[in-house]
């Protein structure tokens, strides 16, 4: 990453070209210079369609993958939920993405920290965790209530969640839980 200096007039122009709370100066510049419609946009609005470039179709970045997933499955406007880079909320949903972006793996590994779990558990909105592998277009979308029920059944005692999923049989190893019914298409 390179740091550059710009004058106030250029900065204000970049601000005027961006969508508040969504765009960064870098994403605005990428869009202007490269006509990149998905440039570094961690937050998405699902009331409009977007076009993917051939490189995004073959190997999407995690942020592009999350954006596409939310657009395809929800008719909501999402914004990021600070301080989490991959947690998004709308009027009805709070969705936390955990991304493992590697093809040909025998294990999908994630860790959900206590602070993220607490945020998800305390919301009045429908809380979901999406365990993804963009490299192979995989999403397990699991309601937090279902996870909590399985935590009790499996007698999981830690404040965080260790998640190792065997993709060959959709089994969450730590909770000894078949999660195939949560597998979504993207």
Cβ-Cβ contacts under 8 Å for 176 (sequence gap 6 or more): 154
- Per-residue b/e over 85-100, b at no fewer than 16 CB within 10 Å? ebbbbbeebbbbbbbb
What is each CA distance from 40 to 31, 60, 85, 170, 178, in whole angstroms?
A: 10, 12, 12, 30, 34
pLDDT per position as a tens digit, 52-82: 333 344 446 888 899 989 999 999 999 999 9
Higher pLDDT, 16 or 176: 176
Q: Residue 94: which pLDDT band, with cuts at 50, 70 and 90?
A: very high
Half-sphere exposure of 166 (CA within 13 A, CB side): 10
CA–CA gap between residue 40 and residue 37 (Å, rounded) = 9
pTM of the model: 0.69
CA–CA gap between residue 159 and residue 145 (Å, rounded) = 16
């Amino acid at each position: 990453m390179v740091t550059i200096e710009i004058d106030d007039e250029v900065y204000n122009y970049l601000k005027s070209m961006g969508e508040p709370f969504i765009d960064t100066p870098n994403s605005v510049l990428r869009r202007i210079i490269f006509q990149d419609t998905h440039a570094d946009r961690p937050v998405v609005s699902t009331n409009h369609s977007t076009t993917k470039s051939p490189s995004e179709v073959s190997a999407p970045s995690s942020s592009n993958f999350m954006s596409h997933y939310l657009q395809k499955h929800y008719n909501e406007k999402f914004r990021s939920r600070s301080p989490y880079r991959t947690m998004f909320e709308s009027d009805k949903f709070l969705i936390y993405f955990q991304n493992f972006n590697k093809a040909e793996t025998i294990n999908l590994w994630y860790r959900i920290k206590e602070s993220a779990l607490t945020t998800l558990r305390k919301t009045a909105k429908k809380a979901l965790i999406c365990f993804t592998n963009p490299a192979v277009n995989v999403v397990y979308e699991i309601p937090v209530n279902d996870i909590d029920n399985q935590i009790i059944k499996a007698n999981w005692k830690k404040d965080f969640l260790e998640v190792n999923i065997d993709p060959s049989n959709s089994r969450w190893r730590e909770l000894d839980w078949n999660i195939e019914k949560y597998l979504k298409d993207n």
